[in-house]
Amino acid sequence: MKFLRPSALILGMATMASTGSVQAQSGADRWRVTVSPYVWATSLDGNVTLAGRYAPVDVPFSDAFEHLEAAVMGDVEVRKGRWGGFVDYQYARTHEEVSLAGLPAELGTRATTVSGGLLYRLVDVPLSGRTTFGDQRSFRVEPIAGARWSKLRAELDTPLGTTSKGADWTDLLLGLRVEADATEHWTLRGQVDAGGLGDSDRRSRSWQVLASYRTPAAGGAVSFNLGYRLLEQNYQQDDFTGRNFNWNVSRHGPVIGLSLTY
C-alpha cells in the first residue's frame, strides 16, 4: 500500500539518525533522541464549504484505507534532563464520493499538519522499580507550549463543474502530557492540546492516549506503540468574491507505530 512505503522510508532515516545521536553521561541528563514513524487510520467527520457549496464529510474507520490515497506520518523528540522538544508531521490525501443537493459529487482533500513545541517536566514522582533503560520508574506531568501549522487543499467535482480551494495557517497551542512507567517495559501516556485560543475563525484541539512496550535494542530501546488519536480543526476564510471556505473536520482513529530511542 502507498502509505507503507513512505513510512518505511521514515523508519530507515530514523535508524540512521539515531545511530549518530550524541550521548552524554549516563542518567537523566544525557541526550536522548526518539524517532517514531506511525500509521494513523483516521475516520473523517464534519463538513467542507467551497464557494457556497456545502459538502458533508463522513468516512468511517472501516473505510479509512479505501479512501486514503497516500500518507506520511512521523514524530521526532529530543530530551535532556527536564526539557524536551518535539516535531510531529502528518500528510494525508483522501478521496470520497459525496452527495451535494441530491447530486453525486467527488471530494478530494490534501491535509498537511506539522506540530512542534517544548515540554518541561514539572512533576516527576518516583515509583518502585526501574525501566528497561535502567532509570527509576516515575509518574510525570509536562506542560506543552508550541505551534501547529496546517495546510489544506480541497477539491469538489460536481456535474456543474469543479471548485477547489486551499489555505494554510498557524495556531499557537498549549497542552499537557501525563506519562507513567506502569512496569519495566510498559509506559502509558495521555496528551491533550488546544490551538487558536480566542480566534473564532481558526480553532483546533487534539488528544491522544498511547500504550508503549519498550525493550532494549543495540544500546538503546525500541517501543511498540498502540493508541487512539483525535484532531479537530475549524477554519473559516472569505475570499475577495465574498465566498466562504469553511473546513470543519475532525480526524480520529487508532494509531500504531514504533519508536527508536538512543
pLDDT of residue 216: 86
Number of domains in the chain: 1
- Segment 229-253, tens digit of pLDDT: 999 988 887 754 556 778 888 989 9
Quickly list DSSP for the chain. -TTHHHHHHHHHHHHHHHHT----SSSTTS-EEEEEEEEE--EEEEEEEETTEEEEEEE-GGGHHHHEEEEEEEEEEEEETTEEEEEEEEEEEEEEEEEETTEEEEEEEEEEEEEEEEEE--EEEEEEEE-TTSPEEEEEEEEEEEEEEEEEEEEEEETTEEEEEEEEEEEEEEEEEEEEE-SSSEEEEEEEEEESTT-TTEEEEEEEEEEEEEEEETTEEEEEEEEEEEEEEEEEEE-TTS-EEEEEEEEEEEEEEEEEE-
pLDDT of residue 29: 72
pLDDT of residue 67: 66
Find which of 41-50, 113-122, 163-172, 228-237 is predicted with most confidence, using mean pLDDT.
Answer: 113-122
Residue 112 belongs to domain spanning: 4-261
In the structure, what pLDDT confidence band is assigned to residue 187 with cuts at 50, 70 and 90? very high
Q: What is the mean pLDDT of residues 157-176?
A: 80
pTM above 0.75, yes or no: yes
| CATH number of the domain to which 49 belongs | 2.40.128
